[in-house]
């Protein structure tokens, strides 16, 4: 039972990080539109964004893989998560801003859907119940 709570915390952290990322992508550009006046270019820095996505992939991947290995064995959750992270990462390299925003939006939604499914499947797991009843 403790493992289920531990895993749920990681999914909650990952879902929160995905939501914060979505808010960042929408609000921060509006908030920081004046920064180029001061020669401060953090918004358009592809390396900072790529690094942030990779860090999120590490923590989110930890939660998804724990749920997959210990609880549900549902490959679709892993696929949706990887698809979302790749969309987020490669969105940085698109030359047009609308394409980048669309790819990142759908990538973020995919990551959130993966974490929600991981959380639900881990709470209602038949694999872990059969392991605990057999022990």
Supply angle C-alpha 45, 49, 52, rounded to 5. 145
Q: Which domain holds residue 88?
A: 2-134
Sequential pLDDT tens for the chain (135 residues): 445 555 567 777 777 777 777 776 666 666 666 666 666 666 567 887 888 888 889 888 988 998 899 889 999 999 999 999 999 999 989 988 889 889 999 999 999 999 999 988 988 765 555 555 544
Under DSSP, the state recorded for 135 is -
Spell 36-64 as b/e; 16+ CB within 10 A means b: eeeeeeeeeeeeebeebbeebbeebeebb
Our count of domains for the chain comes to: 1
Q: Which of 29, 60, 54 has its CA nearest to residue 43?
A: 29
Closest CA to 94 of 81, 107, 113, 112: 107
């Amino acid at each position: 039972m403790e493992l289920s709570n531990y895993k749920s915390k990681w999914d909650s952290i990952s879902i929160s990080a995905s939501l914060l990322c979505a808010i960042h992508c929408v609000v921060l550009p509006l908030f920081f539109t004046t920064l180029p006046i001061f020669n401060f270019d953090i918004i358009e820095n592809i390396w900072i964004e790529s690094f942030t996505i990779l860090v999120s992939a590490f923590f989110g991947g930890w939660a998804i893989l724990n749920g997959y290995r210990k609880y549900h064995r549902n490959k679709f959750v892993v696929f949706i998560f990887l698809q979302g992270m790749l969309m987020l990462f490669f969105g940085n390299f698109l030359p047009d801003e609308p394409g980048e925003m669309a790819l990142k939006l759908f990538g973020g939604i995919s990551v959130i859907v993966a974490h929600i499914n991981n959380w639900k499947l881990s709470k209602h797991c038949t694999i872990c119940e059969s392991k605990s009843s057999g022990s």
